[in-house]
Amino acid sequence: MISRKAPLREVYVWQLPVRIFHWVNAFVITVLCVTGYIIGDPPAIMHGTAPEFNYWFGWVRLAHFIAAFIFIINFAVRIYWFFAGNDFAKWYNYIPLKKKQWRGIFETIKVDILLLTPKPVYDIGHNSLAAFTYFGLFIIMILQALTGFAMFSASSNNIMAPFFEKMLIASGGFFPIRDIHHILMWAFILFAIVHIYLVFYHDYIERNGIASSIIGGWKFIDNRLVEEYEKENESERKIKNKEKELKDIKEESA
């Protein structure tokens, strides 16, 4: 039996826009992978002979295009939320700029990959390794959108078509771009498998409601960790206020 002696505090971590982004992204990526696989390797046998089934491949393409545009709009909203969201949604969580983040990455590797210790690394938001992995995923999302638009431009006359046609030419034609797009699809599939496994693994070893938090937004965090986080925020706030006061004094004396 696993018991927990440390007092826990309920912390609202994932705001509604973050949770909506997560679930919309999960749905459209699933649709994109399924339809993309069919488009990349279409079956030779037609299923059904009635007129409404004769254009089934066209419906697959349409579903792929619709899901792709939802994917891009959803990602654009998330980019905005990198700057407008709470501390746990901000962009600086995903890029390891501090020693603390790098230390967290190596400590989490010991737990998740090397299995050198069963002691988990506790964080209020994403742990540093997960956050850095998501940063890689965001880069892949941008590349997937660009390569997808490049192939889409080959059969359209939209306003961005000339730009993406140049991108196709500079990349050696349609097929190299198609290959990149196809490989990145498998990167999404691999990420999804590892992501789902680690969510439930961490939910088990940390016992902080990480799996349910992406539904309700709340996690159960060791009170000592929350107090440390609050002290850091308070210190940063005081430093910023002091810097602002000094700046105001300099401007007044100038």
pLDDT (0 to 100) of residue 47: 54
Structure tokens at 250: 């300099």
Structure tokens at 35: 């339809």
Judge whether 143 lies within some domain. yes
Residue recorded with tokens 């619709």: 66
- CB within 8 Å of 24: residues ≥ 6 apart: 70, 74
Judge whether 229 lies within some domain. no
Neighbours of 153 (CB within 10 A): 19
CATH (domain of 116): 1.20.950.20
pTM flag (> 0.85):
no
Structure tokens at 142: 């941008």
Judge whether 162 lies within some domain. yes
Alpha helices in the chain (DSSP H): 16-40, 56-84, 99-112, 128-153, 161-170, 174-206, 210-216, 223-253
Judge whether 211 lies within some domain. yes
- 8 A C-beta contact, residue 145 and residue 72: yes
Judge whether 226 lies within some domain. no
Structure tokens at 159: 């306003």
- CB within 8 Å of 190: residues ≥ 6 apart: none
Judge whether 209 lies within some domain. yes
pLDDT (0 to 100) of residue 247: 74
pLDDT (0 to 100) of residue 49: 52
The domain total for the chain is 1
C-alpha closest to that of 16 among 69, 90, 81, 68: 81
- 8 A C-beta contact, residue 188 and residue 29: yes
pLDDT (0 to 100) of residue 1: 40
Structure tokens at 3: 């018991």
Judge whether 7 lies within some domain. no
Run means of pLDDT, 10 residues per run, the chain, 254 residues: 66 94 97 93 62 72 94 96 93 90 88 75 87 95 92 76 78 86 95 93 86 92 84 78 74 69
- The span from the CA of 19 to the CA of 21, in Å, is 5
- The span from the CA of 64 to the CA of 58, in Å, is 10
pLDDT (0 to 100) of residue 192: 95
Q: Three-state DSSP class for 90?
A: coil
Domain carrying residue 195: 13-217
Neighbours of 142 (CB within 10 A): 13
Judge whether 26 lies within some domain. yes
Structure tokens at 207: 């016992």
CB burial readout 53-82, b (16+ within 10 A) else e: eeeeeeebeebbeebbebbbebbeebeebe
